[in-house]
Amino acid sequence: MAERVVRLPDVGEGIAEAELVEWHVKVGDVVREDAVLGAVMTDKATVEIPSPTDGRVIWLAGSVGDVLAIGSDFVRLEVDGKSAPAAEAVKSASSTASTLAKKPDVAACAPRMAREPPNMLKSQPSAAPPHHAGDRPLAAPAVRLRAREAGVDLRQIRGTGPAGRITHDDLDAHLARGRTGTTATPYPTQTAVTDIKIVGLRRKIAEKMSVASSRIPHITYVEEVDVTALEDLRAKLNSQKQPGRPKLTMLPFLMRAMVRAIAEQQHLNAHFDDEAGIVHQHAGVHIGIATQTPAGLVVPVVRHAEARDLWSCAAEVARLAEAARNGSATRDELTGSTITITSLGALGGLATTPIINHPEVAIIGVNRIAIRPHWDGVAFVPRQMMNLSSSFDHRVIDGFDAAQFVQRIKTQLETPAMIFIDG
């Protein structure tokens, strides 16, 4: 028998390390050639690493969530034959591994249970009676702390320790019986704690949100928009849509309004390289659409929105959203946005404080549509109203420019015919 080392392959694009997100084998497993050993993630792309040969697993590189260097030992196999090479890196991640696995990353869960309650049937012949109202029960500081956190009055517990001292076991027994002497409740006390390790896409999201929050001084501007006319137009267009055309949601109208507003304020369609002190202003409008998936939040990108009409925008949003949710979106489809829209749909609330998609300088947040009373100068009338909650990088975008940008979008949404007028 001989040992063969499978090294973590170069997954391309100059990446120096990758996060381990899943093991498909354990030590002692016998694997066949091309069987998947494990999976790593880099920049939202999941790569499965296959076995180059038959063998038995004798060593694994680490635990889910660990970051491994490219070229480092990944798995060690015991194989037949004395001439087996000592080490091997899988030749090409693109040809032998399955990128962008179709399943969401799963966080590893390890339940950590509280201490087990004692045997409730054991006799307690020496138990002291509960204490009187004015007495201070005997108990160690740690027992007092646990009782205080659990909302338990120690005077209601019989102590089984020396001189009637209340022990941890006494407190556990009391909690297991139910909190006699406290407010009566039919609900059991829950003491289990589950540890969930942040790995895979969720860790990528956490890292990006931390960078955006720590490095970008946000200014958030909230404006109310009357979308009654727009909703009437949208319903009319959907009722008369041609075969093959997608259903129109609010997003395509907002995207077209943003394109027209950006034409007048192109510095909002940009990336800010704060280390170099350079704002990269883009001519092409590549709108990221924040999308919730089973694995977490991703941002597929509608490229060149400036060259798309309403129906093209709608079709591309629907296509990208489906690809993001089923895990088939490519890396190019998930990167490169120059400005982002975030919307929670019917759950959108009255206002939000969106976090900018670093290194962009602006994000437009859509809140839910609701019928509200609106003063028309004579009387209050019911109108369909929606708030836009938008955040801007205050280092390079002044509050006046931010407000002006949102007002231009508001004007077009309230007078939707303007969206169709060139110039």
Give yes or no for a contact between 56 and 26, defined as CB atoms under 8 angstroms apart: no
CB atoms within 10 A of CB 115: 10
93: amino acid identity, one letter: A
Helix H, strand E, coil C: the string for the chain is CEEEEEECCCCCCCCCEEEEEEECCCCCCEECCCCEEEEEEECCEEEEEECCCCEEEEEECCCCCCEEECCCEEEEEEECCCCCCCEEECCCHHHHCCECCCCCCCCCEEEECCCCCCCCCCCCCCCCCCCCCCCCCCECHHHHHHHHHHCCCHHHCCCCCHHHCECHHHHHHHHHHCCCCCCCCCCCCCCCEEEECCCHHHHHHHHHHHHHHHHCCEEEEEEEEECHHHHHHHHHHHHCCCCCCCCCCHHHHHHHHHHHHHHHCHHHCEEEECCCCEEEECCCCCEEECEEECCEEECCEECCHHHCCHHHHHHHHHHHHHHHHHCCCCCHHHCCCCEEEEECHHHCCCCCCCCCCCCECEEEEEEEEEEEEEECCCCEEEEEEEEEEEEEECCCCCHHHHHHHHHHHHHHHHCHHHHHCCC
Name the catalytic one among 29, 218, 394, 401: 394
Name the catalytic one among 34, 135, 232, 398: 398
d(CA 268, CA 406) in angstroms, rounded, equals 11
Nearest CA to 183 out of 208, 223, 151 is that of 151
Active site residue 80: no
Pairing relationship of beta strands 87-89 and 291-293 according to DSSP bridges: unpaired
CB atoms within 10 A of CB 143: 23
d(CA 362, CA 220) in angstroms, rounded, equals 10
Contacts of 320 (CB under 8 A, 6+ apart): 289, 291, 300, 301, 302, 329, 333
Active site residue 394: yes
Q: Which residues are catalytic?
A: 394, 398
